[in-house]
Amino acid sequence: MAVERETKAQRVERIKREKNPWDLLPDIQRWATTGFDSIPPEDLDVRLRAWGIYTQGDGAGVRGKHVPYFMLRIRIANGALFAHQMRVIAQLAARYARGVADITDRQNIQLHWIRTEDIPEILERLQQVGLTSLGACGDVVRNVTGCPLAGIDHEELVDASPLVYEVNRLLNGNREFSNLPRKFKITVSGCKHWCTNPEINDVGFTAVRRGDEVGFHVQVGGGLSSRPFMAVKLNAFVPWHRVLPVAKAIAEIFRDSDVLRENRAKARLKFMFLDLGWDADAFLAEVEKRAGFKLDPAVPEEVPNDTYRDHVGVHPQAQPDLYYAGFTVPTGRISAEQLEAFAGLAEQFGQGRLRTTLMQNIVVLDIPAARLTEFRAAAAVALPFFALDEASVFHRGVLACTGSEFCKLALTETKAFGSKLADELQERLPHFNRHLKINLTGCPNSCGQHWISDVGLMGIQVKGDDGSLVDGYEFFLGGGLGAHASFGRRVAFKVRANDVAEALARLIQAFEETGENSESFREWAVRQNEEQLAGYLRTVAARAAD
Ligand code: SF4
């Protein structure tokens, strides 16, 4: 009789059931002496992820293979760091990660090239300063994101960061939530600009005013990947003190949806709406049942336009005479020395507070007005490669996922390509000064969020001159969130990575020539038909091949 093979989903579920991934610390400590090869496949592929630890690619882009090193992701709730914490990350990057780190689009910081024998020491150093990698990957509640300007922004409705920390504490490390069907992403924003992208989170709380009271609206089930879905808004006003039980109830609904566990590709909350017949009313009723209370209906609100907000430059805080300074970190790639320099600036000029942003940047807080000139001079010396207000719109706008350098699923390299693309666009279009989001993603999984940017570039393999496969990109244009939320339109045009800058420059020139005065790139792109867009993109090489 034929023996039925376990599906991928069944294997992962079995492994998680057999041993709670959060009980792995003694094993991690043991493997540090017995070595990489002694780690059982079940732990390597599944359980270690719940510790924010993933096997990585070889650094040179050989696809689909891992090497005996790890990526270790440090979870940073609300992106909030103190200088001493950033200094420890800098030291870990220098000592264990070949001097480099990556800021992610969920405010985390990733290290690569981590050796098995160094993991216990790294985990301990992080713990000593109140940081952790626990729950940064795997089938758990991932880092809870929040507005990088929480508590210092002029326009925020409320400083929601205490809720971010509370939700983080409640759900991460909690054994009740150590085995979800897949990853689960939550954001809480107290700001009216929604720059934490609630529409693409599993749970997005956004502050809203009801008379004198500030509470929250909540949307659920958002996500990207190869089948993007905008979150569904629940008709509920969630008072501040109800945010935690509501977040917990939603996480429970997800955890208990056993049908989602049958297929890893469909194990996200959005598939309850896409495939399982749930709607917003039924979902809210289930939330209220589990939470044990009814919620008032939602109140009228103004959904923000898709404002460009990278928090770069020097701007006043809500606190009198204090400023924040946001630095562009193109593609999020940063060296240990630069992390150390940021920590030094925050200590020397501020109160030691820093934030990472969802556009992979760093913000230094609390700089006194009287010291701004001195601060700018010191920053120019300490961080000559980063700019405050001077970075080009292209360097500011580029965001990139990990790509084939370290990600085993990637089809293309993204980090170096993203920086080079910004350089080339700046060279070709030095006068262009309109904000433009260019999101790069090395495969359809969309970690670089190509669906929701002005220009989304998704990595593919295309034929090179000699017929061999080389890195290439597909274009997704006019995506965005907010009042006119829509996913980028896939344009029927593929190009080699080397030709992307030329294609994009032609497209931007067409926007300059034919766009109306106040029109954003996104509005213009939405107005064009696909043939027009493909025509603008067509490069010299592509035209020659026609
Ligand atoms: Fe890797 Fe693809 Fe995600 Fe990029 S989008 S990090 S290549 S899985």
DSSP states of 240-260: GGGHHHHHHHHHHHHHT-GGG
What is the full per-residue pLDDT of the chain (546 aa) written as tens digits? 556 789 999 999 999 999 999 999 999 999 999 999 999 999 999 999 999 999 998 887 766 677 899 999 999 999 999 999 999 999 999 999 999 999 999 999 999 999 999 999 999 999 999 999 999 999 999 999 999 999 999 989 999 999 999 999 999 999 999 999 999 999 999 998 999 999 999 999 999 999 999 999 999 999 999 999 999 999 999 999 999 999 999 999 999 999 999 999 999 999 999 999 999 999 999 999 999 999 999 999 999 987 788 899 999 999 999 999 999 999 999 999 999 999 999 999 999 999 999 999 999 999 999 999 999 999 999 998 887 778 899 999 999 999 999 998 999 999 999 999 999 999 999 999 999 999 999 999 999 999 999 999 999 999 988 889 999 999 999 999 999 899 999 998 899 999 999 999 999 999 999 999 889 999 999 999 999 999 999 866 665 455
Residue of 174, 165, 108 lying closest to 141 (CA atoms): 174
pLDDT, position 306? 76
Nearest CA to ligand 1 atom 2: 443
Tokens representing 459 are: 């990595």
Tell me 212's DSSP state: T
Apex 488 CA angle, 446 and 225, nearest 5: 20
Are residues 203 and 186 in contact, defined by beta-carbon separation less than 8 angstroms?
A: yes
Task: Determine the distance separating the centroid of ligand 1 and the alpha carbon of 451, expressed in angstroms.
Answer: 13
Report CA torsion sign: 116, 118, 124, 126. negative
Pocket test for ligand 1, best of 104, 137, 142, 443 (most atoms within 8 A of CB): 443
Residue 512 burial (10 A CB sphere; 0-12, 13-18, 19+): middle
How is the beta sheet containing 333-335 ordered, strand by strand?
Answer: 53-56, 67-74, 109-114, 100-103, 333-335
Tokens representing 197 are: 């992208």
Apex 316 CA angle, 310 and 322, nearest 5: 125
pLDDT tens, position by position, 12-57: 999 999 999 999 999 999 999 999 999 999 999 999 999 999 999 8
Contacts of 272 (CB under 8 A, 6+ apart): 221, 253, 257, 260, 278, 283
Are residues 525 and 515 in contact, defined by beta-carbon separation less than 8 angstroms?
A: no
- Bridge-partner residues for 3, per DSSP? none
Q: What is residue 139's three-state secondary structure?
A: coil
Task: Determine the distance separating the centroid of ligand 1 and the alpha carbon of 299, expressed in angstroms.
Answer: 38
Alpha carbon distance 491, 538 (integer Å): 11
- Which residue's entry shows tokens 């405010």? 107
Pocket test for ligand 1, best of 409, 412, 450 (most atoms within 8 A of CB): 409
Residue 465 burial (10 A CB sphere; 0-12, 13-18, 19+): exposed
Question: Which atom of ligand 1 is found nearest the CA of 412?
Answer: 7
Alpha carbon distance 361, 538 (integer Å): 32
Alpha carbon distance 490, 478 (integer Å): 9
- Phi (first) and psi of residue 532, to 5 degrees: -60, -45
- Bridge-partner residues for 486, per DSSP? 480
pLDDT, position 524? 95
pLDDT, position 492? 87
The Cα-based distances of 48 to 28, 436, 463, 511 in angstroms read 9, 37, 37, 47
The Cα-based distances of 311 to 150, 253, 282 in angstroms read 12, 35, 38
Question: Which atom of ligand 1 is found nearest the CA of 404?
Answer: 7
Alpha carbon distance 51, 72 (integer Å): 8
pLDDT, position 387? 79
Are residues 189 and 205 in contact, defined by beta-carbon separation less than 8 angstroms?
A: yes
Amino acid type, 18: E
Tell me 6's DSSP state: P
Alpha carbon distance 486, 199 (integer Å): 10
pLDDT tens, position by position, 259-314: 999 999 999 999 999 999 999 999 999 999 999 999 999 999 999 987 788 899 99
Q: What is the bridge-based pairing of β-strands 438-441 and 353-356?
A: unpaired
Contacts of 170 (CB under 8 A, 6+ apart): 244, 247, 248
List, chain by chain if needed, residues with CB within 6 Å of any ligand 1 atom: 401-403, 407, 409-410, 441-443, 445-448
Residue 59 burial (10 A CB sphere; 0-12, 13-18, 19+): middle
Write down the H helix ranges in 405-483: 415-428
Question: Which atom of ligand 1 is found nearest the CA of 407?
Answer: 1
Are residues 489 and 534 in contact, defined by beta-carbon separation less than 8 angstroms?
A: no
Alpha carbon distance 70, 134 (integer Å): 15
Pocket test for ligand 1, best of 445, 457, 458, 460 (most atoms within 8 A of CB): 445
Residue 207 burial (10 A CB sphere; 0-12, 13-18, 19+): buried
Task: Determine the distance separating the centroid of ligand 1 and the alpha carbon of 445, expressed in angstroms.
Answer: 6
Alpha carbon distance 420, 50 (integer Å): 34
Contacts of 207 (CB under 8 A, 6+ apart): 156, 157, 158, 160, 189, 190, 191, 192, 214, 215, 216
pLDDT, position 128? 98
How many other CB atoms sit within 10 Å of the CB of residue 155? 9
pLDDT, position 1? 54
